[in-house]
Amino acid sequence: MDLLLLEKTLLGLFAATLLAITVSKLRGKRFKLPPGPIPVPVFGNWLQVGDDLNHRNLTELAKKFGQILLLRMGQRNLVVVSSPNLAKDVLHTQGVEFGSRTRNVVFDIFTGKGQDMVFTVYGEHWRKMRRIMTVPFFTNKVVQQNRFGWEDEAGRVVEDVRKNPEAATDGMVLRRRLQLMMYNNMYRIMFDRRFESEEDPLFVKLKALNGERSRLAQSFEYNYGDFIPVLRPFLRGYLKVCKDVKERRLKLFKDYFVDERKKLGSRKSIDSNGKCAMDHILDAQNKGEINEDNVLYIVENINVAAIETTLWSIEWGVAELVNHPHIQNKLRNELDSVLGPGVQITEPDIEKLPYLQAVVKETLRLRMAIPLLVPHMNLHDAKLGGYDIPAESKILVNAWWLANNPDNWKNPEEFRPERFFEEESKVEANGNDFRYLPFGVGRRSCPGIILALPILGITLGRLVQNFDLLPPPGEPKIDTAEKAGQFSLQIMKHSIIVLKPRSF
């Protein structure tokens, strides 16, 4: 054995002994840990379970180890919760104890170590940010002020598709146009700004930087440095790329949007009805409640939390409607009979359209955009389901499985909006039932639900009113294979959709 190998072996043995001692301490004397696969030294369960901890793989593990299970990913504890009662405990009963978020070296970069709202720990800063963001983003007044904008954007999608004769024959990748619509929906709220076309250079730049940020943050590439801290120095290159993307992105938000709005505000006084979200946020900055970095991180949070999540849900809704023509027809009949053929749906109509609401709910159930919620974390040692949970564990609530477990739902694999009139008539998307939490529930639940539901209703409603939505020519169905990331459940292929205009 040469010296180098001997040195490596001794180091390995040393690390293994250290880990074995730590694990036995945790498992043994003080802690009664949740069940899970037996960890090996240094790596824990990482090599057994791999990187791809998506909702389906975690469901398989829950079937084996139970409704609460522990995985050791290197030095990190990961607790997976898979029953409505335990979800209630994490999100509601012990909402404070489990109300923090995990971060890692990469998220520390993108959030400036938690200067944002989505990824900050539960405490004073989070409370302040959530309060400051509520008036500009998360009230019914915001919906009433902005719904005309969303109706206008959905109308422009319909207009553009009608103008494109190929859409009715060869079809088009509708997602691209819907993405522009979602950016416009959110940038109108934030800055009273919109992008004219998919080719708008600012839109192209923004989309690319947001895409890079999502890819870098969600990638499994940096796990080794996160799970095994001694390997962190090898992440230097990766972290440098993250820093670069973060800086370019925040600079773009600042130079092209925040500063522009500031200039406009200093030229004329904007009355309270003409205010966009950024005017309120800048008021909070002027009062000294938050600093300039916080302002930029609010813009960053809305970019990651609002745009793609809603877009994925719209895309899934379209795919399910294409693949279930009888449901599409039933929805069209509802729209035609309640509103009159050709009368374009607006936000206040949604409450008169129960089948449309059921289609939205069923889409969010079967194709839950954030199937494991945003990971929660306990700052201190805690108890859950009769087990000890060591401080700073990452807690994943498998919300997708809660809503797709055949023990709790009738034929959950079927796309059947009717379930929300029949056996599930009392279930709402706001978390009134712990089997169905597409937006989470409790302190860290999604405040954007108040915007997401009407945007989904208006968009799907307008599309079905104005077009027959069909699969690509020669194919019976759209491919609905899933692409699941750490925080997301998206459709794998952005399919071509044929949109045949209806005439009225």
Residue 309 or 328 having the CB closest to ligand HEM: 309
Query: What's the rounded Cα separation, in Å, for the pair 250 and 258?
Result: 10
In 136-265 the beta strands, taken as DSSP E runs, fall at none
Q: Tell which one of 81, 157, 235, 452 touches ligand HEM (CB under 6 A).
A: 452
Task: Give the shortest CB-244-to-ligand HEM separation in angstroms.
Answer: 25
CB 59 within 8 A of CB 92: no
Tell which positions 141-180 bind ligand HEM, by CB under 6 A.
Answer: none
State yes or no: residue 185 binds ligand HEM (CB under 6 A). no
**SS3 call for 406:** coil
276 is in an annotated binding site: no
Task: Give the shortest CB-59-to-ligand HEM separation in angstroms.
Answer: 17
Q: Which stretch binds ligand HEM (CB under 6 A): 209-217, 307-315, 323-331, 332-340?
A: 307-315
Task: Give the shortest CB-360-to-ligand HEM separation in angstroms.
Answer: 9
State yes or no: residue 117 binds ligand HEM (CB under 6 A). yes
State yes or no: residue 440 binds ligand HEM (CB under 6 A). yes
From the centroid of its chain, how far is CA 94? 23
Query: What's the rounded Cα separation, in Å, for the pair 281 and 192?
Result: 14
CB 356 within 8 A of CB 330: no
- Residue owning tokens 């206008």: 152
- Kindly determine how many residues on this chain lie close enough to bind ligand HEM according to the rule CB under 6 A: 26
Tell which positions 56-115 bind ligand HEM, by CB under 6 A.
Answer: 91
Query: What's the rounded Cα separation, in Å, for the pair 90 and 97?
Result: 8
Burial of residue 125 (number of CB atoms within 10 Å: 0-12, 13-18, 19+): middle
State yes or no: residue 278 binds ligand HEM (CB under 6 A). no
Q: How far is CA 200 from CA 104, 158, 183, 193, 204, in A?
A: 34, 19, 12, 13, 6
Residue 30 or 113 having the CB closest to ligand HEM: 113
DSSP notation for 424-484: TTT--TTSSSTT--TT--STTS-TTHHHHHHHHHHHHHHHHHHEEEEPSTT-SS----EEE
Residue 182 or 331 having the CB closest to ligand HEM: 182
Residue 454 or 472 having the CB closest to ligand HEM: 454
State yes or no: residue 301 binds ligand HEM (CB under 6 A). yes
Q: Tell which one of 107, 137, 297, 409 touches ligand HEM (CB under 6 A).
A: 137
Give, to the nearest 10 degrees, the angle between helix 174-191 and helix 277-286.
Answer: 40
Q: Which stretch binds ligand HEM (CB under 6 A): 47-55, 234-242, 304-312, 460-468?
A: 304-312
Q: Which stretch binds ligand HEM (CB under 6 A): 40-48, 379-387, 408-416, 445-453?
A: 445-453
Task: Give the shortest CB-347-to-ligand HEM separation in angstroms.
Answer: 14
Residue 435 or 444 having the CB closest to ligand HEM: 444
Question: Which residue's beta carbon is nearest to the bound ligand HEM?
Answer: 448
CB 61 within 8 A of CB 69: yes
Q: Which stretch binds ligand HEM (CB under 6 A): 170-178, 266-274, 303-311, 418-426?
A: 303-311
CB count in 10 Å sphere of residue 97: 21
Phi and psi of 233, rounded to 5°? Answer: -55, -25
Query: What's the rounded Cα separation, in Å, for the pair 19 and 200?
Result: 53
Residue type, 449: I
State yes or no: residue 464 binds ligand HEM (CB under 6 A). no
**The pair of three-digit structure tokens given for residue 431, joined into one six-digit string:** 């978390």
How many degrees, rounded to 5, is the angle at CA 45 between CA 42 and CA 50? 115
Q: Tell which one of 83, 146, 285, 313 touches ligand HEM (CB under 6 A).
A: 313
Residue 490 or 495 having the CB closest to ligand HEM: 490
**The pair of three-digit structure tokens given for residue 14, joined into one six-digit string:** 């040393």
State yes or no: residue 132 binds ligand HEM (CB under 6 A). no
Task: Give the shortest CB-308-to-ligand HEM separation in angstroms.
Answer: 9
CB 299 within 8 A of CB 183: no
Query: What's the rounded Cα separation, in Å, for the pair 120 and 114?
Result: 4
Per-residue x/- marks for ligand HEM, 235-274, CB under 6 A?
Answer: ----------------------------------------
Per-residue x/- marks for ligand HEM, 356-395, CB under 6 A?
Answer: -------------xx--xx---------------------
Binding residues for heme, as ranges, are: 446
Q: Enumerate binding residues for ligand HEM (CB under 6 A).
A: 91, 117-118, 130, 137, 301-302, 305-306, 309-310, 313, 369-370, 373-374, 438-440, 444-448, 451-452
Binding residues, as ranges, are: 446
